[in-house]
Amino acid sequence: MSNSFVLNMLNRIWDNICIFYDNSCLKAINHRIGNYFKFLSNGSVVIHFFTNEKSLFQSSLFYKVYIYLIDKLMCIFYCSRKVVKKYKDNSFLYKAVSSLFQNEQEGFYSVSIFIITFSLVTITINIIRGGVIISNLLLLILLIIGIFMFKTRKYFANIIRNSFFVNIIRNLFMIDDGGE
């Protein structure tokens, strides 16, 4: 299933809980109580209203209006996407943005410059206005992160590849090719 030790352990625990529940008195009691309520509610209009295939939200007018608006919004996005694709080769803005994010290193560089600029401008505005000290502290932390990103932009792929925390998360969701 996965080469993650944590997921394998949680899977085994869940399997054991399911086996214990299948053989427990609690399941038998729940089954009897459930059958009793099914028998009592057989033919009830109220129970049918709450347990039919469509949920209460899906059968409401609000849901239908919401779906209609989302469909129209998606149509607008689709049409605008066609127009943008048609004129993107001659666009100055498209060329500028695509050059900023042409590869991972340039994208990392652009993000770090944005974080540094955003932090400095916001700190300056807060100081001029007499802003809250806590927000300035958070912005200083963000500024330090931006400077760190800027200084390590050439080595960030190696840093991320060798990061213990990133490897734990990557292994948590990695699918094992072998079978059991």
pLDDT of residue 118: 92
As a whole number of angstroms, the distance between CA 146 and CA 117 comes to 9
Average pLDDT, stretch 52-56?
64
Per-residue DSSP letter, 176? P
Contact by Cβ (8 Å): 115, 153: no
Q: Residue 45: is its pLDDT beyond 60? A: yes
pLDDT at 24 over 90: no
pLDDT band at 177 (very low <50, low <70, confident <90, very high): low
Q: What is the mean pLDDT of residues 113-139?
A: 85
Statement: residue 180 has pLDDT above 80 = no
Domain boundaries of the chain, sorted by first residue:
1-52, 54-90, 92-173
Q: Which strand (E) or helix (H) includes residue 110?
A: helix 104-129
What does the pLDDT look like over 61-93, one tens digit per residue? Answer: 777 888 899 999 999 999 988 888 888 778 787
Read off the pLDDT of each residue in 8-29 and give the average, rounded to a whole number: 87
84-125 pLDDT, tens digit per residue, is 888 877 878 778 877 777 877 788 888 888 999 999 998 888
Instruction: Tell whether pTM > 0.85.
Output: no
> 6 by DSSP, 3-state: which?
helix
Contact 17/10 with Cβ under 8 angstroms?
no
Burial class (CB in 10 A: 0-12, 13-18, 19+), 29: exposed
pLDDT at 69: 92
Give the max Cα distance, the chain. Answer: 72
* Residue 20 vs residues 8, 9, 14, 72: alpha-carbon distances, Å: 18, 17, 10, 51
Q: What is the mean pLDDT of residues 151-158?
A: 77
**Residue 23 pLDDT grade (very low, low, confident, very high; cuts 50, 70, 90):** confident
pLDDT band at 1 (very low <50, low <70, confident <90, very high): very low
Percent of the chain scoring above 70 in pLDDT = 88
Phi then psi for residue 175, to 5 deg, are -95, 130
Who has greater pLDDT, 140 or 4?
140
Nearest-angstrom CA–CA distance, 131 and 124? 10
Q: How far apart are CA 115 and CA 149, in angstroms?
A: 9
Asked if 146 and 116 count as a contact pair (C-beta separation under 8 A), the reply is yes
